[in-house]
Structure 1
Amino acid sequence: MESDGVIPVSRSRPPDDGTEREILAGLLDFLRATVVNKVAGLSDEQGFSSPVPPSTLSPAGVVKHLTGVELFWFSIDFANADLVWPWTDDDPHGNFLLAPSDTLALIVADYQAACERSRGVVAGAGLDDRAKAPEMSFTLRYALAHMIEETARHCGHLDLLRERIDGATGQ
């Protein structure tokens, strides 16, 4: 069962001898592509399933969460962009919850758009630049390192969920 439009994307490993910026941005982009590839080919039913009870974690929920995290760290907190907060009062730091109108393809498209927006924020800033949102003081370097950790952790979740759903393994 194919998903409506979620297809694998190409991944490029970052240079192992590049600049700090090239390595950090490259690692994050590699992981972002891995997220998309982990859900490519799943149907909405599979993508919305929670195959590891008692957890309610689903592949679609993980991607939706990562969309919010991208917006939060780079656009809202770092760049101080005036955007809609990605989480609700009922789920202030999660956004693993899915709406009835969600589809896996739309969730992945939103994720890819958030990643592209983040790339624009990163391209226009130095690694030592500080977050512009009130009461934020982290550097872009910290945000990139944190997002590598966050995205890698959730890639691990997606590995396990995908294997449980249809047996697919691999990077």
Structure 2
Amino acid sequence: MAPSPHDERALLADALDRQREEVAAILDGLDDAAARARLVPSATTPLGLVKHLTFVERVWFHSRVAGVPRAELGLPDTVDESFVIDEEDTVASVRATYLAACERSREIAAGRDLDETYSSHHGETSLRAVHLHLLTELARHAGHGDILVELLGSEG
């Protein structure tokens, strides 16, 4: 059931969850080798994209909103490092970690006021702005993932 057009919080949460589903779907039908494939000059891979977006969830909701220090969350120091695929990373493990991060983000956001503010490298930002930032970040990278998956299909 779609949220009421007058419930801003539900609309934001619903839109964010739809983008989270698109991100998780990047890995649908890919084996570990395909998910690791480098098809563009950058280090961007389907598996790396989902791993990066796990980082994004944790930075914005788990660290900024919930106040857990980045080091305690085991986050890499740089954005570029968040794309790095470790030997033990698999489609199943990265997807599970991503979905768990999304669930934790939902729990953190629940019951908080959209106007509540948090410190960020851009100054103070509201929970509303965090939702909007995540929406744009997830949508952009889901599109990248769609292109990578399309390229994988054209290689076969």
Q: Same fold (TM over 0.5)?
A: yes
Secondary structure of 1:119's aligned partner: helix
Q: Deviating runs (4+, > 4 A) in structure 1?
A: 132-136
Q: Per-residue deviation at 1:38?
A: 2.0
8 Å contact kept, 2:119–2:125: no
Residues 112-123 of structure 1: pairs in structure 2 closer than 5 A: 112-123=99-110
The TM-score, its normalising length taken from structure 1, stands at 0.81
**Count of residues in correspondence between the two structures:** 151
Change in CA separation of 1:59 and 1:134 when aligned onto 2, cut-off 3 Å: closer
Partner Cα separation in structure 2 for residue 102 and residue 137 of structure 1: 35
Structure with more contact order per residue of length (Cα contacts < 8 Å, sep ≥ 6): 2
Which letter maps to 1:71? R
Partner of 2:79 in structure 1? 93
1:80 touches 1:133 (CA, 8 Å); kept in 2?
Answer: no
In structure 2, the CA distance between the partners of 1:146 and 1:109, relative to structure 1 (3 Å rule), is: same
After superposition, give the CA deviation of every residue in 1:90-143 in whole Å (9 maximum; x if it has no partner). xx1231011111111101111000000000011031100112689952110000
Give aligned-pair identity as a percent. Answer: 37
Give the AA of the match of 2:76: W
2:67 is matched by which residue type in structure 1?
N
CA distance in 1, matches of 2:74, 2:84: 15
Is the CA contact 2:50–2:94 (under 8 Å) kept in the aligned structure 1? yes
1:139 aligned partner:
126
Q: Distance in 1 between matches of 2:43 and 2:132?
A: 28
Unaligned runs of 5+ in 2: none
Q: Which structure has greater strand proportion?
A: 2
CA distance change for structure 1 residues 135 and 166 in 2, over 3 Å: closer, same or farther?
A: closer
SS of 1:131's partner is strand
Q: What is the aligned partner in structure 1 of residue 144 from structure 2?
A: 157
Q: Normalising by the residue count of structure 2, what TM-score does the alignment of the two structures yield?
A: 0.88
The answer on 1:38 being equivalent to 2:26 is: yes
Corresponding residue for residue 61 of structure 1: 48
